[in-house]
Chain A
């Protein structure tokens, strides 16, 4: 089945986006990316070690993936904007996963600064995909300033808490004028499937794969989960009922 996702005019073959951090080693990372089928993978931008130059992660990925640099850890709009600009220079991409953290313990987004930074980056020609609260109003504001997608959290980053507020995610999906990517909180494949069933256009997973007991197998599971959830969404779930509805025929029942 061909069911591509288009963000800002770019067509992506996979609806699973994968992060590159925290894998047991580089080979496992490469295997997981391959197995996941992901086309879009996230990277961070960090100060280089002044003790010498080591092989870059990007060299390792060898041009096989579309890179989505993030502004992870930034707590001010100024730092996030500069990080995005440095990413654009380093990677020759105007795509950015905009993260603006308002609280170091929960890593909850600072929506006020996020909207401001997104607005400025869009005006500077960036394709902005903001990590944001599962709040329809925040998502609408981000779409209004020109973000190419919105990426509401399922639950806290790295928590594996799943989708804490499915009703809010479903509401965001039903109203969003731009693609919705469930970002953060995915713990296992059924979480990814649920996100897609709720109407998300894609899912971004990192820790749930990287920190799984068997990351390669979890990468395969996430791929299957996203595909299953997407298919189910397109097919349409049956209405929920309060009473049983027999699936076998009532006619010809022995003893009647």
Chain B
């Protein structure tokens, strides 16, 4: 288990990579229009499978919404 901050909420999760984190949250890692940042830096989609999460990582998972 590692402790992460996911979209502003602290949580403990049993995952090693970003792709595993998405799957654990019921988010299809192949879904279009998703973007992820780790500790304030965008993690490109091609890195989601290999990038290993570290304890304390601040993860932002976003997508487009309506806006003005």
Contacts and interface: CB of A to CB of B under 8 A. Distances in A.
Given A89-B45, A90-B35, A20 B66 contact: yes
Interface in A84-112: 85-91
Nearest to B44: A89
B42 interface: yes
A56 B45 CA distance: 18
A70 B67 contact: yes
Given A56-B33, A78-B40, A91-B33, A67 B64 contact: yes
Interface in B45-68: 45, 60-68
Which residue, B34, B42, B67, has most C-beta atoms of chain A within 10 A? B67
B47 to A, nearest CB: 11
Interface stretch (A4-12, A44-52, A163-171, A229-237): A44-52
Contact of B37 (A67, A85, A158): A85
B59 to A, nearest CB: 10
A82 B33 contact: no
Interface residues of A, number: 39
Given A53-B28, A89-B44, A89-B45, A48 B64 contact: no
7 tightest CB-CB pairs across the interface, nearest first? A44-B67, A19-B68, A206-B68, A90-B35, A89-B35, A86-B35, A21-B66
Interface of A: 19-23, 29, 42-48, 50, 52-53, 56-59, 67, 69-70, 72, 78, 82-83, 85-91, 157-158, 204, 206-207
24 contacts: A42-B67, A44-B65, A44-B68, A45-B63, A46-B63, A46-B64, A47-B8, A47-B60, A47-B61, A48-B7, A50-B7, A50-B25, A53-B27, A57-B66, A58-B32, A58-B33, A59-B32, A69-B67, A72-B67, A87-B35, A89-B45, A90-B35, A204-B68, A206-B68
